[in-house]
Amino acid sequence: MRSGLADFFFSITRFFDPENCYFCRKPVSTDHFWCKECDDEISRVTVPYCRRCGLPLPGPLENRLCQDCLTDKPIFNQARALLIYEKRSRDLVRSVKYQHQSPLVRQLIDPPGRKLINELAEPDLIIPVPLHLSRLRERGYNQSLLICRNLFAERKRDIDPFILKRSRPTMSQTGMNGRERRRNLKNAFTVRNRERIRGRRIILVDDVFTTGTTVNECARTLYRAGAAQVDVLTLARVVMTP
């Protein structure tokens, strides 16, 4: 209920203040949430990027693998992110995650964003990465589900927020290295209905791809339940600097 009410109040605010940028408050057209100047500050993922995990890569060559995917193949089939997690895009992600401003996501379904989404396999199911019940009660909503509903508004019947379950609470992964993250998430997810998963192509949706540990563990669980293919879509992607 809180999700629906928050979107309702966001829409009401937009109705009474339809021509101001969400970020800088400058005038914008009514079919945009933010202005061109702020849009230019949002770091989007563009080619070239790793064809498996979607990591932005230096140089002009396309359709290649990053070093991590060459040395340690991910569990998921492929992953794409719409934004690089920095500066203005970080503000956008935090607005969705902590301020419940999920309708903002809709402006990212522009031609570049749609192209990235279309690189993933046509899904039978769209599954948000789940929160544990204790965290869900604390926050009141699952931001990954809100992202699903805005990115795939025309396919809401294919979104299933209940089939993948976080079966135990996990610690915040901020500051953890890869090994600590894997230990933290090991066996943290279960599938409620294996028959619904078996043989299906799935898009798994999360807010931020950091090291890929969370989506890898979810993909592992879904493959064990019989999924045919698991692709990953995130709102943003952390790019580690050397």
Residue 242 lies in a domain: no
Residue 100 lies in a domain: yes
Compute, in degrees rounded to 10, the torsion defined by CA atoms 116, 20, 153, 227: 40
Query: In the predicted model, is pLDDT for residue 196 greater than 90?
Result: yes
**Is the CB of residue 55 less than 8 Å from the CB of residue 66?**
yes
**Is the CB of residue 110 less than 8 Å from the CB of residue 85?**
no
Residue 215 lies in a domain: yes
In b/e form, how buried is each residue of 211-221, taking b as 16+ CB within 10 angstroms? bbbbbbbbbbb
Tally of structural domains, the chain: 1
Q: What is the per-residue pLDDT across 66-125, written as a single tens digit (0 to 9) for each?
A: 999 999 999 999 999 999 999 899 999 999 888 888 889 999 999 999 999 999 999 999
Is the bond into 48 cis (omega within 30 degrees of 0)? yes
- Cα(197)–Cα(228) distance, rounded to whole angstroms? 8
Q: What is the pLDDT of residue 180?
A: 72
Q: What is the pLDDT of residue 2?
A: 45
Which tokens sit at 89? Answer: 């895009």
Rounded percentage of the chain residues whose pLDDT exceeds 70: 88
Residue 144 lies in a domain: yes
Residue 183 lies in a domain: yes
Q: What is the per-residue pLDDT across 11-21, written as a single tens digit (0 to 9) for each?
A: 545 444 557 89
Q: What is the domain extent for residue 39? A: 2-237
**Lowest-pLDDT range, 41-45, 165-169, 222-226, 231-235?**
165-169
Q: Which H helix or E strand runs over 80? A: strand 78-84
Query: In the predicted model, is pLDDT for residue 230 greater than 90?
Result: yes
